[in-house]
């Protein structure tokens, strides 16, 4: 039996599960999610305060909505993509429509803050085993 713990909630328009990862997820599971959607990429939204992430939706906005329903705060949520076949040092892309936040000094889809990028990297690396 696996020691991986996560909640699965179906709320995607195509009835694909969105996984909330609060303990860990294996590389194999991550690759399976990628294969179901985009082939080599998984979209994700991380909650910087809770150190959890939602994965597997077609849109970052669906993952964001799920985390908000679960009690996350908007200011703590940031979208990213994981390219599962790339080395860990380069597999993250900090790009999503949900990242456009002029009120948080982020006027573009790309996360401008190196500090936020580093926090996302730490959380993803901790959760993906």
Residue with tokens 């190196």: 114
Buried b (16+ CB within 10 A) or exposed e, 99-127: bebeeeebeeeebeeeebbebbbebbeeb
Closest CA to 58 of 120, 16, 25: 16
pLDDT in tens, the chain (129 residues): 344 444 544 455 556 789 999 999 999 999 999 988 888 999 999 999 999 999 999 999 999 999 999 999 999 999 999 999 999 999 999 999 999 999 999 999 999 999 999 999 999 999 999
The tens digit of pLDDT for each residue in 38-75 reads 889 999 999 999 999 999 999 999 999 999 999 999 99
Provide the whole-model pTM: 0.87
d(CA 70, CA 66): 6
* C-alpha closest to that of 48 among 108, 117, 97, 1: 117
Residue with token string 């998984």: 42
CA separation for the pair 46, 92 (Å, rounded): 12
Compute the distance between CA of residue 129 and CA of residue 110 in angstroms, rounded to an integer. 26
Q: Could you tell me the two tokens for 15?
A: 């009835």
The domain locations on the chain are 6-127
Check: CB of residue 35 under 8 Å from CB of residue 84. no
């Amino acid at each position: 039996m696996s020691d991986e713990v996560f909640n699965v909630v179906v709320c995607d328009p195509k009835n694909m599960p969105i996984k909330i990862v609060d303990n860990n997820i294996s590389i194999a599971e991550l690759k399976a999610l990628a294969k179901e959607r985009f082939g080599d990429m998984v979209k994700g939204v991380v909650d910087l305060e809770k150190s959890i992430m939602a994965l597997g939706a077609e849109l970052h906005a669906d993952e964001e909505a799920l985390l908000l329903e679960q009690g996350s705060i908007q200011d703590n949520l940031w979208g990213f993509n994981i390219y599962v076949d790339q080395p860990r040092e380069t597999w993250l892309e900090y790009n999503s429509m949900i990242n456009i936040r002029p009120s948080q000094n982020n006027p573009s889809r790309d996360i401008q803050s190196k500090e936020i990028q580093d926090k996302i990297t730490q959380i993803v690396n901790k959760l993906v085993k």
